Amino acid sequence: MSFEYFIANKILKTDKKGIKVSKPIMRISMISIALTIVVNVITIAVVTGFQNEIRKKIVGFSAPLFIMKDGNKNIYESDPIHIDQKKIAQLEEIDGIQSVAPVIYKPALIRSDKFSDAKNEGSFKQEVTGVVLKGIDRQYPMDFLKSQLVSGKLPSFDGTNKEIVLSKKICNDLNFKIGDEIAIFFVKKRSLMKRFKIAGIFETGIEKIDNEIIFASLSSVQELNDFGVAQENSLNFVSGFEVQINNWDDLESKHQKIDEIIELEPNEHGEVLRVINILESENEIFSWLSFLDTNVLIIIILMLIIGIINIGSVLLVMIVIRSNFIGILKALGANNWSIRKIFLYQTASIILKGMIIGNIIGLVLCYLQYEYQILKLDATVYYLSEVPIELSMTNVIAINIITFIVCMLSLLIPSMVISRVSPSKSIKFN
């Protein structure tokens, strides 16, 4: 045990007068450090939860990478391309590629059944809304879609299966329920109506998805598209391929590797393909998610400033009330740095106690929200129905280390007041 640490420990335990004078401000500083940790831990957990949950839903329903015909900007209305199983197999061999699934999109209109208008008894009205059918097959990763179901089940999506999965919002708006057969209208060279049966209902909380997307079998949507070919050949065409990856951090590298395989040169069918990533197609949402990082940084800095100011005040108070003690130590031959270390050890003790309290409170609050979803959100505004929590111990440890180091370094300047204390004056004064 060092001399400075020994003295600091003895002062904290035996200096009743000093403790009596500084106790209130020491408590305030300890609370401020605890509050800094609580706010920072919760902020990072919530923002990380927001980013990952929204990203997971966006990616789960549209994939991080999409291969489509070059020259098209809207994946919902892209020109068809041939299904090339050799190319799919080549892409699936890339390390980190989870799946390569053909998909096809078809804009349509969906109409509700007639129902009574409560405001005008005896009359009836119909609701019509625009939707996009998304055709998928067994190659499509079903786990995420299944996790978003709120009722019903996933159909097989085999062949021309007429079962569909749509959102809870569409069902509520158009008065649909599980098992209903609904009419969907398509615009081709002539108007076309097909009936589908509702097998499952999902809910994401993301307006763009819940308002538009209906999942159906790939073959059934292929038959509905007007590709300018004979109907029997339509099964060879899709809107593009969704590429799922194992690690989001590898998005750019996987994008580059797929580009190298496709090479932006015509395939055997004379089609020029290109790859777009979700950061391009969903730029608005991902820009908003990136902006959250800036907000987190601002909050962390502000809380650190509050903690620094308060702990600095404690240090100055302790130096003032123990000026006699400082004078005695200097008279006995102690240098300024040794005395500064004594007071730094004392303030470090306060910081550590505040950090322990803050971590306990912050982690408990995060656990309660994660387990019981106490705080709810308006899904139409925030895309989620409750405040998400994703806690990383790496982030928690980093916050604690940064807080401690920054606070301790900031105390080096106020501790320089010790050098101004004169042994003769301080001893005589007291």
Location of structure tokens 């003032």: 320
pLDDT single digits (tens) 356-393: 999 999 999 999 999 999 999 887 778 788 899 999 99
State pLDDT tens for residues 164-179: 999 999 999 898 999 9
Instruction: Quick: pLDDT tens for 244-268.
Output: 999 999 999 999 999 888 876 677 7
The band of 430, judged by pLDDT with boundaries at 50, 70 and 90, is very low
CA dist., res. 418 & res. 320, Å (int): 9
- Cβ atoms within 10 Å of 390's Cβ, excluding its own: 17
Cα distance between residue 28 and residue 67, in whole Å: 58
Q: Which residues, 6 or more positions from 315, have their beta carbon under 8 angstroms from its beta carbon?
A: 343, 344, 346, 347, 411, 414, 415
Residue 45 has pLDDT above 90, yes or no: yes
Residue 24 and residue 152: Cα distance in Å, rounded? Answer: 60
pLDDT of 108 higher than 80: yes
**% of the chain at pLDDT higher than 90:** 45
Distance in angstroms (rounded) separating the CA atoms of residues 64 and 66: 7
Measure the CA–CA gap between 223 and 238, rounded to whole angstroms.
11
pLDDT of residue 424: 61
Separation CA 95–CA 246 (nearest Å) = 9
Q: What type of residue is 419?
A: S
**Number of C-beta neighbours around residue 17 at 10 A:** 9
In this prediction, residue 213 carries a pLDDT of: 94
Q: Are the beta carbons of 156 and 100 closer than 8 angstroms?
A: no
Mean predicted lDDT score pLDDT of the chain: 85
Report pLDDT for 120: 54
What would the DSSP string read from start to end of 394-425?
Answer: HHHHHHHHHHHHHHHHHTTTGGGGGGG--HHH
CA angle 405, 410, 414 (to 5 degrees): 145
**pLDDT for the residue numbered 360:** 97
Which structure tokens are listed for 351?
A: 């910081």
- Which H/E stretch holds residue 134? strand 128-136
Best-predicted range by mean pLDDT (110-124, 261-275, 405-419): 405-419
- Structure tokens given for 399: 């916050």
Mean pLDDT of 279-292: 88
Residue in 100, 238, 217, 235 with CA at minimum distance from that of residue 154: 217
